[in-house]
Protein backbone atom coordinates (compact mmCIF):
# COMPACT_ATOMS: atom_id res chain seq x y z
CA UNK A 1 0.00 0.00 0.00
CA UNK A 2 1.42 3.35 -1.06
CA UNK A 3 0.81 5.81 1.77
CA UNK A 4 2.44 8.52 3.85
CA UNK A 5 2.00 9.62 7.48
CA UNK A 6 2.04 13.15 8.82
CA UNK A 7 0.71 15.50 11.48
CA UNK A 8 -2.66 17.16 10.93
CA UNK A 9 -2.89 20.81 9.87
CA UNK A 10 -5.68 23.45 9.99
CA UNK A 11 -6.38 22.72 6.33
CA UNK A 12 -7.34 19.16 7.31
CA UNK A 13 -10.15 20.15 9.71
CA UNK A 14 -13.02 19.37 7.35
CA UNK A 15 -11.58 16.01 6.31
CA UNK A 16 -10.88 15.08 9.93
CA UNK A 17 -14.54 15.57 10.77
CA UNK A 18 -15.84 13.83 7.64
CA UNK A 19 -13.76 10.68 8.09
CA UNK A 20 -14.47 10.35 11.81
CA UNK A 21 -18.19 10.95 11.29
CA UNK A 22 -18.34 8.37 8.50
CA UNK A 23 -16.24 5.78 10.34
CA UNK A 24 -18.43 5.94 13.46
CA UNK A 25 -21.73 6.75 11.70
CA UNK A 26 -22.16 10.05 13.53
CA UNK A 27 -24.62 12.42 11.86
CA UNK A 28 -24.60 16.23 12.30
CA UNK A 29 -27.58 16.02 14.67
CA UNK A 30 -25.68 13.66 17.01
CA UNK A 31 -24.58 15.37 20.28
CA UNK A 32 -21.03 14.14 19.61
CA UNK A 33 -20.78 15.93 16.27
CA UNK A 34 -20.08 19.46 17.62
CA UNK A 35 -17.32 18.01 19.81
CA UNK A 36 -15.73 16.45 16.74
CA UNK A 37 -15.82 19.75 14.89
CA UNK A 38 -14.38 21.62 17.87
CA UNK A 39 -11.55 19.12 18.28
CA UNK A 40 -10.61 19.23 14.58
CA UNK A 41 -10.66 23.03 14.41
CA UNK A 42 -9.02 23.72 17.76
CA UNK A 43 -6.11 21.28 17.60
CA UNK A 44 -5.72 19.54 14.21
CA UNK A 45 -2.01 19.07 15.00
CA UNK A 46 -2.99 16.48 17.61
CA UNK A 47 -4.05 14.11 14.81
CA UNK A 48 -1.85 11.67 12.93
CA UNK A 49 -3.19 11.22 9.41
CA UNK A 50 -2.53 8.67 6.72
CA UNK A 51 -2.58 9.92 3.13
CA UNK A 52 -2.75 8.10 -0.17
CA UNK A 53 -2.64 9.99 -3.43
CA UNK A 54 -2.95 13.29 -1.61
CA UNK A 55 -6.16 12.21 0.18
CA UNK A 56 -6.56 11.46 3.89
CA UNK A 57 -7.79 7.89 4.23
CA UNK A 58 -7.31 7.27 7.96
CA UNK A 59 -6.51 9.14 11.15
CA UNK A 60 -6.22 8.96 14.90
CA UNK A 61 -5.84 11.45 17.73
CA UNK A 62 -3.01 11.61 20.28
CA UNK A 63 -3.57 13.57 23.48
CA UNK A 64 -0.38 14.60 25.30
CA UNK A 65 -0.42 14.42 29.10
CA UNK A 66 2.49 14.76 31.52
CA UNK A 67 1.63 12.64 34.55
CA UNK A 68 3.34 13.09 37.87
CA UNK A 69 5.45 10.48 39.61
CA UNK A 70 6.11 12.28 42.86
CA UNK A 71 8.01 15.44 41.90
CA UNK A 72 8.85 14.10 38.43
CA UNK A 73 6.63 13.38 35.43
CA UNK A 74 6.34 11.07 32.42
CA UNK A 75 4.68 11.70 29.05
CA UNK A 76 1.59 9.70 28.12
CA UNK A 77 0.12 9.60 24.63
CA UNK A 78 -3.63 9.06 24.81
CA UNK A 79 -4.64 7.39 21.54
CA UNK A 80 -8.23 7.67 20.36
CA UNK A 81 -10.66 8.23 17.50
CA UNK A 82 -8.97 5.65 15.29
CA UNK A 83 -10.85 6.08 12.00
CA UNK A 84 -10.58 4.56 8.54
CA UNK A 85 -12.65 5.69 5.57
CA UNK A 86 -15.58 3.22 5.39
CA UNK A 87 -14.94 2.12 1.80
CA UNK A 88 -11.38 1.13 2.76
CA UNK A 89 -12.08 -0.72 5.99
CA UNK A 90 -11.06 -4.35 6.28
CA UNK A 91 -7.86 -3.87 4.25
CA UNK A 92 -5.40 -3.62 7.15
CA UNK A 93 -5.19 0.17 7.00
CA UNK A 94 -6.15 0.60 10.65
CA UNK A 95 -3.49 -1.87 11.73
CA UNK A 96 -0.85 -0.10 9.67
CA UNK A 97 -1.92 3.23 11.14
CA UNK A 98 -1.56 1.86 14.67
CA UNK A 99 1.85 0.25 14.08
CA UNK A 100 3.21 3.43 12.52
CA UNK A 101 1.83 5.48 15.41
CA UNK A 102 3.41 3.27 18.07
CA UNK A 103 6.80 3.64 16.43
CA UNK A 104 6.33 7.39 16.00
CA UNK A 105 5.52 7.82 19.70
CA UNK A 106 8.60 5.83 20.73
CA UNK A 107 10.77 8.03 18.53
CA UNK A 108 9.22 11.25 19.82
CA UNK A 109 9.72 10.97 23.55
CA UNK A 110 6.51 9.32 24.76
CA UNK A 111 6.89 7.02 27.75
CA UNK A 112 3.42 5.48 27.97
CA UNK A 113 0.31 5.17 25.85
CA UNK A 114 -3.31 4.69 26.86
CA UNK A 115 -6.43 3.93 24.86
CA UNK A 116 -9.87 2.45 25.19
CA UNK A 117 -11.23 -0.26 22.92
CA UNK A 118 -11.41 -3.98 22.31
CA UNK A 119 -8.54 -5.98 23.74
CA UNK A 120 -8.63 -8.53 20.91
CA UNK A 121 -7.78 -5.75 18.44
CA UNK A 122 -5.35 -3.58 20.40
CA UNK A 123 -3.41 -6.36 22.15
CA UNK A 124 -1.53 -6.97 18.91
CA UNK A 125 -0.02 -3.47 19.20
CA UNK A 126 1.28 -4.06 22.71
CA UNK A 127 -1.56 -2.85 24.95
CA UNK A 128 -2.68 -4.55 28.17
CA UNK A 129 -5.89 -4.15 30.18
CA UNK A 130 -5.61 -1.51 32.89
CA UNK A 131 -8.07 -0.47 35.61
CA UNK A 132 -10.11 2.72 35.63
CA UNK A 133 -10.92 4.68 38.76
CA UNK A 134 -13.53 7.31 39.43
CA UNK A 135 -15.92 8.51 42.12
CA UNK A 136 -19.69 8.78 41.80
CA UNK A 137 -22.30 10.63 43.83
CA UNK A 138 -25.95 9.61 43.54
CA UNK A 139 -28.95 11.77 44.36
CA UNK A 140 -32.10 9.73 44.58
CA UNK A 141 -34.14 8.68 47.57
CA UNK A 142 -32.17 8.54 50.83
CA UNK A 143 -32.61 5.82 53.47
CA UNK A 144 -33.38 7.11 56.98
CA UNK A 145 -34.80 5.52 60.14
CA UNK A 146 -38.20 6.84 59.09
CA UNK A 147 -37.90 5.23 55.68
CA UNK A 148 -37.03 6.55 52.24
CA UNK A 149 -36.89 10.35 51.94
CA UNK A 150 -36.66 12.25 48.63
CA UNK A 151 -33.17 13.67 48.14
CA UNK A 152 -34.58 17.18 47.72
CA UNK A 153 -35.91 17.04 51.30
CA UNK A 154 -32.68 15.68 52.79
CA UNK A 155 -30.08 17.84 51.05
CA UNK A 156 -29.72 21.56 51.62
CA UNK A 157 -27.09 24.18 50.92
CA UNK A 158 -24.33 24.26 53.56
CA UNK A 159 -24.63 26.78 56.37
CA UNK A 160 -22.77 28.00 59.44
CA UNK A 161 -19.34 28.11 57.81
CA UNK A 162 -16.76 30.86 58.17
CA UNK A 163 -16.27 32.03 54.61
CA UNK A 164 -18.41 32.40 51.51
CA UNK A 165 -19.20 30.14 48.57
CA UNK A 166 -19.53 32.28 45.46
CA UNK A 167 -19.40 31.93 41.65
CA UNK A 168 -15.97 31.57 40.06
CA UNK A 169 -14.92 34.80 38.35
CA UNK A 170 -12.18 34.17 35.80
CA UNK A 171 -11.22 37.86 35.68
CA UNK A 172 -10.20 37.86 39.35
CA UNK A 173 -9.81 34.18 40.30
CA UNK A 174 -7.59 32.81 37.51
CA UNK A 175 -4.38 32.98 39.53
CA UNK A 176 -5.95 31.61 42.70
CA UNK A 177 -7.31 28.66 40.72
CA UNK A 178 -3.79 27.69 39.63
CA UNK A 179 -2.51 28.08 43.19
CA UNK A 180 -5.25 25.84 44.61
CA UNK A 181 -4.67 23.16 41.99
CA UNK A 182 -0.94 23.25 42.67
CA UNK A 183 -1.42 22.91 46.42
CA UNK A 184 -3.91 20.08 45.97
CA UNK A 185 -2.09 17.96 43.37
CA UNK A 186 1.61 18.89 43.41
CA UNK A 187 3.60 15.69 43.84
CA UNK A 188 0.53 13.47 43.59
CA UNK A 189 1.54 10.47 41.50
CA UNK A 190 -0.85 9.64 38.69
CA UNK A 191 -2.21 13.20 38.47
CA UNK A 192 -1.66 15.70 35.70
CA UNK A 193 1.52 17.73 36.17
CA UNK A 194 0.67 21.03 37.86
CA UNK A 195 2.60 24.27 38.15
CA UNK A 196 2.09 27.61 39.84
CA UNK A 197 2.32 29.32 36.47
CA UNK A 198 -0.86 30.81 35.06
CA UNK A 199 -1.55 33.24 32.24
CA UNK A 200 -3.95 36.09 32.81
CA UNK A 201 -6.88 35.67 30.39
CA UNK A 202 -7.19 38.39 27.79
CA UNK A 203 -10.97 37.87 27.47
CA UNK A 204 -12.18 36.47 30.79
CA UNK A 205 -15.30 34.36 30.60
CA UNK A 206 -18.32 35.56 32.58
CA UNK A 207 -19.46 33.56 35.61
CA UNK A 208 -21.01 30.20 34.71
CA UNK A 209 -24.67 30.82 33.82
CA UNK A 210 -25.62 27.41 35.24
CA UNK A 211 -24.05 28.32 38.58
CA UNK A 212 -21.93 25.17 38.76
CA UNK A 213 -18.49 26.76 38.95
CA UNK A 214 -17.74 28.18 42.35
CA UNK A 215 -15.05 28.86 44.93
CA UNK A 216 -14.85 28.83 48.70
CA UNK A 217 -13.31 32.06 49.98
CA UNK A 218 -12.29 33.06 53.51
CA UNK A 219 -11.04 36.58 54.29
CA UNK A 220 -10.29 37.23 50.63
CA UNK A 221 -8.36 33.97 50.07
CA UNK A 222 -9.69 31.31 47.70
CA UNK A 223 -9.39 28.02 49.60
CA UNK A 224 -11.10 25.69 47.15
CA UNK A 225 -12.58 25.41 43.67
CA UNK A 226 -15.17 23.16 42.03
CA UNK A 227 -16.21 23.18 38.37
CA UNK A 228 -19.13 21.00 37.30
CA UNK A 229 -21.20 20.77 34.13
CA UNK A 230 -23.99 18.64 32.81
CA UNK A 231 -22.74 15.65 30.82
CA UNK A 232 -25.47 15.06 28.22
CA UNK A 233 -23.69 12.09 26.65
CA UNK A 234 -23.73 10.33 30.04
CA UNK A 235 -27.31 11.26 30.89
CA UNK A 236 -30.39 9.17 30.12
CA UNK A 237 -34.13 9.68 29.94
CA UNK A 238 -34.43 8.69 33.58
CA UNK A 239 -31.25 10.16 35.08
CA UNK A 240 -29.29 13.40 34.69
CA UNK A 241 -25.51 13.16 34.86
CA UNK A 242 -23.04 15.88 35.81
CA UNK A 243 -19.27 15.79 35.58
CA UNK A 244 -16.87 17.52 37.98
CA UNK A 245 -13.99 18.52 35.74
CA UNK A 246 -11.93 20.58 38.18
CA UNK A 247 -11.71 20.32 41.95
CA UNK A 248 -9.18 21.09 44.63
CA UNK A 249 -8.67 22.79 47.96
CA UNK A 250 -5.85 24.01 50.17
CA UNK A 251 -4.53 21.43 52.66
CA UNK A 252 -4.86 23.88 55.57
CA UNK A 253 -8.57 24.30 54.84
CA UNK A 254 -9.90 20.70 54.86
CA UNK A 255 -13.52 21.82 55.22
CA UNK A 256 -13.42 23.46 51.78
CA UNK A 257 -13.83 20.21 49.84
CA UNK A 258 -16.90 19.11 51.74
CA UNK A 259 -18.54 22.53 51.58
CA UNK A 260 -18.06 22.76 47.82
CA UNK A 261 -19.58 19.33 47.21
CA UNK A 262 -22.46 20.10 49.57
CA UNK A 263 -23.12 23.21 47.49
CA UNK A 264 -23.02 21.23 44.25
CA UNK A 265 -25.40 18.57 45.55
CA UNK A 266 -27.86 21.21 46.75
CA UNK A 267 -27.63 23.02 43.42
CA UNK A 268 -28.57 19.96 41.31
CA UNK A 269 -30.76 17.93 43.67
CA UNK A 270 -33.96 19.36 42.19
CA UNK A 271 -33.19 17.31 39.08
CA UNK A 272 -32.99 14.01 40.99
CA UNK A 273 -32.39 11.26 40.18
CA UNK A 274 -28.91 12.66 39.53
CA UNK A 275 -25.53 11.01 39.11
CA UNK A 276 -22.30 13.01 39.50
CA UNK A 277 -19.04 11.63 38.09
CA UNK A 278 -15.62 12.90 39.09
CA UNK A 279 -12.00 11.74 39.05
CA UNK A 280 -11.17 12.46 42.68
CA UNK A 281 -7.85 11.06 43.85
CA UNK A 282 -8.02 7.87 45.88
CA UNK A 283 -6.71 9.72 48.92
CA UNK A 284 -7.75 8.89 52.48
CA UNK A 285 -7.46 12.54 53.52
CA UNK A 286 -9.85 13.63 50.77
CA UNK A 287 -12.22 10.79 51.63
CA UNK A 288 -12.16 11.79 55.30
CA UNK A 289 -12.79 15.47 54.52
CA UNK A 290 -15.85 14.63 52.42
CA UNK A 291 -17.15 12.12 54.95
CA UNK A 292 -16.79 14.63 57.79
CA UNK A 293 -19.00 16.98 55.76
CA UNK A 294 -21.68 14.30 55.41
CA UNK A 295 -21.08 13.84 51.68
CA UNK A 296 -21.66 10.24 50.60
CA UNK A 297 -19.91 8.80 47.56
CA UNK A 298 -18.87 5.60 45.83
CA UNK A 299 -15.30 4.78 44.89
CA UNK A 300 -15.28 2.69 41.75
CA UNK A 301 -12.37 0.72 40.36
CA UNK A 302 -13.15 -1.11 37.14
CA UNK A 303 -11.10 -4.03 35.83
CA UNK A 304 -12.29 -4.46 32.26
CA UNK A 305 -10.95 -7.29 30.16
CA UNK A 306 -12.72 -7.88 26.81
CA UNK A 307 -12.84 -4.15 26.18
CA UNK A 308 -12.10 -0.94 28.02
CA UNK A 309 -9.06 0.90 29.31
CA UNK A 310 -5.60 -0.26 28.19
CA UNK A 311 -2.00 0.79 28.81
CA UNK A 312 1.35 0.28 27.10
CA UNK A 313 4.88 1.06 28.27
CA UNK A 314 6.61 2.56 25.25
CA UNK A 315 10.01 3.35 26.75
CA UNK A 316 10.91 1.64 30.01
CA UNK A 317 14.44 3.05 30.21
CA UNK A 318 13.12 6.53 29.45
CA UNK A 319 10.61 6.27 32.29
CA UNK A 320 13.29 5.26 34.78
CA UNK A 321 15.56 8.09 33.63
CA UNK A 322 12.75 10.66 34.04
CA UNK A 323 11.86 9.54 37.56
CA UNK A 324 15.42 8.91 38.82
CA UNK A 325 15.46 12.13 40.94
CA UNK A 326 12.27 11.01 42.69
CA UNK A 327 13.70 7.53 43.26
CA UNK A 328 16.86 9.03 44.78
CA UNK A 329 14.76 11.06 47.21
CA UNK A 330 12.78 7.96 48.15
CA UNK A 331 15.98 5.96 48.65
CA UNK A 332 17.40 8.62 50.97
CA UNK A 333 14.22 8.56 53.07
CA UNK A 334 13.99 4.76 53.18
CA UNK A 335 15.01 2.27 55.86
CA UNK A 336 17.73 0.92 53.54
CA UNK A 337 19.53 4.00 52.14
CA UNK A 338 22.78 2.02 51.98
CA UNK A 339 21.40 -0.75 49.76
CA UNK A 340 23.70 -1.30 46.78
CA UNK A 341 23.15 -3.34 43.66
CA UNK A 342 21.44 -3.48 40.28
CA UNK A 343 17.69 -3.90 39.83
CA UNK A 344 16.57 -5.08 36.42
CA UNK A 345 12.99 -4.56 35.24
CA UNK A 346 11.95 -6.91 32.47
CA UNK A 347 8.81 -6.34 30.41
CA UNK A 348 7.67 -8.11 27.24
CA UNK A 349 10.09 -6.92 24.56
CA UNK A 350 12.19 -4.56 26.69
CA UNK A 351 14.27 -4.39 29.84
CA UNK A 352 16.11 -1.70 31.80
CA UNK A 353 18.39 -1.60 34.81
CA UNK A 354 18.74 0.71 37.78
CA UNK A 355 22.07 0.99 39.58
CA UNK A 356 21.48 1.77 43.25
CA UNK A 357 24.19 2.67 45.72
CA UNK A 358 25.95 5.49 47.56
CA UNK A 359 22.82 7.61 47.37
CA UNK A 360 22.48 7.32 43.60
CA UNK A 361 19.79 5.73 41.46
CA UNK A 362 20.53 5.79 37.76
CA UNK A 363 19.78 3.88 34.58
CA UNK A 364 22.69 1.85 33.24
CA UNK A 365 23.45 -0.40 30.28
CA UNK A 366 23.31 -4.15 30.67
CA UNK A 367 25.22 -5.52 33.65
CA UNK A 368 24.85 -8.44 36.02
CA UNK A 369 21.66 -7.78 37.96
CA UNK A 370 21.37 -8.26 41.70
CA UNK A 371 17.65 -8.81 41.29
CA UNK A 372 15.52 -9.21 38.15
CA UNK A 373 11.79 -8.51 38.21
CA UNK A 374 9.72 -9.85 35.33
CA UNK A 375 6.40 -8.04 35.24
CA UNK A 376 3.58 -7.08 32.98
CA UNK A 377 3.22 -3.53 31.68
CA UNK A 378 0.10 -3.09 33.81
CA UNK A 379 1.93 -4.14 36.98
CA UNK A 380 4.79 -1.74 36.39
CA UNK A 381 2.42 1.14 35.61
CA UNK A 382 0.45 0.51 38.81
CA UNK A 383 3.68 0.73 40.78
CA UNK A 384 4.82 3.78 38.81
CA UNK A 385 1.77 5.83 39.82
CA UNK A 386 1.43 4.41 43.32
CA UNK A 387 -1.85 2.67 42.52
CA UNK A 388 -0.28 -0.35 44.18
CA UNK A 389 3.04 -0.80 45.92
CA UNK A 390 5.62 -2.75 43.94
CA UNK A 391 5.94 -5.16 46.87
CA UNK A 392 2.20 -5.98 46.55
CA UNK A 393 2.45 -7.13 42.94
CA UNK A 394 3.03 -10.70 41.75
CA UNK A 395 6.43 -9.90 40.26
CA UNK A 396 7.79 -9.20 43.76
CA UNK A 397 5.55 -11.41 45.88
CA UNK A 398 6.57 -14.49 43.90
CA UNK A 399 10.28 -13.62 43.85
CA UNK A 400 12.87 -15.04 46.25
CA UNK A 401 14.19 -11.84 47.83
CA UNK A 402 15.79 -10.99 51.14
CA UNK A 403 14.08 -8.58 53.52
CA UNK A 404 16.33 -5.61 52.70
CA UNK A 405 15.69 -5.93 48.98
CA UNK A 406 11.95 -6.13 49.55
CA UNK A 407 12.17 -3.00 51.69
CA UNK A 408 14.10 -1.23 48.92
CA UNK A 409 11.46 -2.05 46.31
CA UNK A 410 8.70 -1.00 48.69
CA UNK A 411 10.44 2.32 49.26
CA UNK A 412 11.20 3.06 45.61
CA UNK A 413 7.67 2.28 44.40
CA UNK A 414 5.23 2.66 47.31
CA UNK A 415 1.46 2.69 47.29
CA UNK A 416 0.45 6.34 47.68
CA UNK A 417 -2.58 8.65 47.37
CA UNK A 418 -2.85 8.55 43.59
CA UNK A 419 -4.70 10.60 41.03
CA UNK A 420 -7.50 8.59 39.46
CA UNK A 421 -8.27 10.07 36.06
CA UNK A 422 -5.44 10.67 33.57
CA UNK A 423 -4.43 7.05 33.22
CA UNK A 424 -7.97 5.71 33.05
Q: Which of 179, 180, 186, 183 is nearest to 72 (CA)?
A: 186
From the number of C-beta atoms within 10 Å of its C-beta (0-12, 13-18, 19+), residue 374 rates as middle
* Bridge partners, residue 355, by sequence: 342, 362
The sign of the dihedral angle between the CA atoms of 389, 309, 109, 422 is: negative
The sign of the dihedral angle between the CA atoms of 105, 106, 108, 111 is: positive
Q: pTM for this structure?
A: 0.93
Q: Provide the angle, in degrees to the nearest 10, between the axes of the packed helices 13-24 and 33-42.
A: 150
38-71 pLDDT tens trace: 999 999 999 999 999 999 999 999 999 999 999 9
CATH class of domain segment(s) 315-412: alpha beta
Residue 306 pLDDT class (50, 70, 90 cuts): confident
234-291 pLDDT tens trace: 888 889 999 999 999 999 999 999 999 999 999 999 888 899 999 999 999 999 999 9
Q: Looking at the chain, which residues constitute the CATH 3.30.1050.10 domain(s)?
A: 315-412
Residue 233 pLDDT class (50, 70, 90 cuts): confident
Local structure of residue 268 (DSSP, 8 states): H
CATH class of domain segment(s) 134-301: alpha beta
Q: Looking at the chain, which residues constitute the CATH 3.40.630.30 domain(s)?
A: 4-130+305-311, 134-301
80-118 pLDDT tens trace: 999 999 999 999 999 999 999 999 999 999 999 999 999
Confidence at residue 38, expressed as pLDDT on a 0 to 100 scale: 94
Q: Which CATH number fits domain 4-130+305-311: 1.10.357.10, 3.40.630.30, 3.40.50.920, 3.40.50.620?
A: 3.40.630.30
Amino acid sequence: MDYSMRQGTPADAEALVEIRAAAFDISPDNPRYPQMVNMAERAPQAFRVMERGGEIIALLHIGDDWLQVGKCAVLKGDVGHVSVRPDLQGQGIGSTLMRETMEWMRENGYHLSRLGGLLKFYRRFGYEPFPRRFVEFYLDEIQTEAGMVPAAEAIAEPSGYEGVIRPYNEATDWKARAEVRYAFDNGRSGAYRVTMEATEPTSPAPPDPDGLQFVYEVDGRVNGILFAAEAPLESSETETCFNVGDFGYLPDCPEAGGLLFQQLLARVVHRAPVRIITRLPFDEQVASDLTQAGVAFHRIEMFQAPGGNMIQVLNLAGILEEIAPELRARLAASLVPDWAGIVEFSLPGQAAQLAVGEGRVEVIQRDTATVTLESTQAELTKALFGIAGLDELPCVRSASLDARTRELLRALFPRCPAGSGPWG
